[in-house]
């Protein structure tokens, strides 16, 4: 017996993922990113011309947003019409990129350091729109776990990662150090290191050079003595134990406590990109081996995260812009 269909048009449902991709299609500066990649992209000298840069870049970004490996991305292109629609591939397409093509494009970006250039380009565009200031930054780092299993080809853990003890628990992986705009919380600098590298060792490299004030948590105590930029004022949080000893009934201690509260309010902006990275995008574990590859991926995610946050950021002298999706994509 033949079962009758419901006659549904599955392409009209405004799912959360469809709305997210539509929003990203609107806000990502595709033309300028394509111009950035074009000098390095192969022109193709065979009978099968390469896929357009725009198409490959859209595939690459979908990989990052949805946490897909190269083989999983290839399969998703066959299984999910929404992904093909986002890349502008209509029903008349004769071929789709395989996992090797997707891999080569990612290696192209890694080889030429284009992830960092993308972040710079995105920030230039946001600066043109008044969403990046030069007077203040906040710095911090977050741990990213790596696979600790040795059940792989080499039979070893990633030699560029390291284990470190945090509290009473050991972690194996890397750290993502970031410098963000102290006003809007948008990332301007990303550095990837092994997990055992202390936050303070990467602090000065996180500055873009135009700051007058930098905010950091208590893990950066002593940075004032190491920093060579004498024009920068560091506002480092007081040690928690020392702050607990403050007597709030004493006027001077109460002032110190209020200063710490105000510093914490500014410093909290650095946590917003980490939330987007780990909660919205769902990036909590490294995918590749080696710091260069993983740092490139994290930098790309922060560049895309800046565009995401820029949609909801509130300008000091204007109304809040359109709100983008705030749940996990």
Structure tokens at 56: 């490959």
Q: What is the pLDDT of residue 34?
A: 96
The C-alpha atoms of residue 113 and residue 143 are separated, in whole angstroms, by 22
Q: Residues 305, 142: contact at Cβ < 8 Å?
A: no
Tokens 């990109």 correspond to 273
Q: Note down pLDDT in tens along the chain; length 329 residues.
A: 455 444 555 556 778 889 989 989 999 999 999 999 999 998 866 666 788 999 999 999 999 999 999 999 999 999 998 999 998 886 666 788 999 999 999 999 999 999 999 999 999 999 988 888 888 999 999 999 998 888 777 788 999 999 988 878 888 999 999 999 998 999 999 999 999 999 999 999 999 988 899 999 999 998 988 887 778 899 999 999 999 999 999 999 999 999 999 999 999 999 999 999 998 888 999 999 999 999 999 999 999 999 988 876 544 444 444 333 333 34
Ranges assigned E (strand) in 217-278: 233-236
Q: Provide the pairing of β-strand 169-181 with 213-216.
A: unpaired
pTM above 0.75, yes or no: yes
229 in helix, strand or coil?
coil
- Residue 234 pairs in a beta bridge with 214
Helix (H) or strand (E) holding 36: helix 30-37
Query: What integer pLDDT is reported at residue 61 of this predicted model?
Result: 95
Q: Indicate left, alpha or beta for 18 from its phi (over 0: left) and psi (-120 to 50: alpha).
A: alpha
* Tokens linked to 250: 């004493």
Residue 32 CB neighbour total at 10 angstroms: 13
pLDDT of 1 reads 47
* Spatial CB neighbours of 282, under 8 Å, sequence gap ≥ 6: 67, 328, 329
Structure tokens at 186: 């948008």
What does the pLDDT read at residue 248? 92
Domains of the chain, earliest start first: 16-111 (no CATH), 133-312 (3.30.420)
- How many helices (H) does the chain have, and how many strands (E)? 12, 6
Is residue 305 within 8 Å of 276, Cβ to Cβ? yes
User: What pLDDT does 321 receive?
Assistant: 43
What pLDDT sits at residue 234?
A: 93
pLDDT score at 324: 37
Q: Smallest Cα–Cα separation from 139: which of 194, 231, 190, 215?
A: 215
């Amino acid at each position: 017996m033949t079962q009758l269909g419901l006659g549904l048009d599955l392409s009209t449902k405004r799912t959360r993922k469809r709305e997210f991709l539509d929003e990203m299609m609107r806000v990502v500066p595709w033309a300028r990113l394509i111009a950035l990649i074009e000098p390095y992209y192969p022109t193709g000298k065979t009978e099968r011309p390469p896929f357009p840069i725009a198409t490959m870049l859209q595939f690459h970004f979908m990989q990052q947003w949805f946490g897909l490996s190269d083989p999983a991305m290839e399969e998703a292109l066959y299984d999910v019409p929404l992904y093909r629609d986002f890349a502008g591939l209509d029903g008349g397409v004769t071929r789709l990129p395989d996992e090797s093509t997707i891999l080569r494009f990612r290696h192209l970006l890694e080889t030429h350091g284009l992830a960092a250039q993308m972040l710079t380009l995105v920030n230039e565009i946001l600066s043109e729109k008044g969403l990046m200031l030069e007077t203040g930054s906040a710095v911090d780092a977050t741990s990213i776990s790596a696979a600790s299993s040795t059940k792989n080809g080499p039979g070893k853990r990633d030699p560029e990662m390291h284990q470190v003890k945090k509290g009473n628990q050991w972690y194996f992986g890397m750290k993502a150090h970031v410098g963000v705009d102290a006003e809007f919380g948008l990332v301007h600098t990303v550095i990837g290191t092994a997990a055992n590298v202390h936050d303070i060792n990467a602090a000065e490299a996180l500055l873009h050079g135009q700051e007058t004030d930098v905010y950091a948590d208590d893990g950066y105590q002593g940075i004032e003595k190491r920093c060579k930029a004498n024009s920068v004022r560091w506002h480092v949080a007081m040690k928690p134990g020392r702050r607990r000893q403050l007597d709030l009934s004493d006027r001077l201690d109460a002032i110190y406590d209020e200063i710490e509260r105000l510093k914490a309010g500014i410093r909290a902006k650095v946590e917003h990109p980490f939330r987007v990275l780990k909660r919205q995008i769902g990036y909590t574990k490294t995918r590749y081996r080696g710091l260069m590859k993983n740092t490139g991926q994290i930098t790309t995610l922060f560049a895309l995260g800046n565009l995401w946050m820029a949609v909801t950021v509130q300008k000091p002298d204007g109304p809040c812009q359109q709100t983008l999706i705030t749940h996990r994509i």
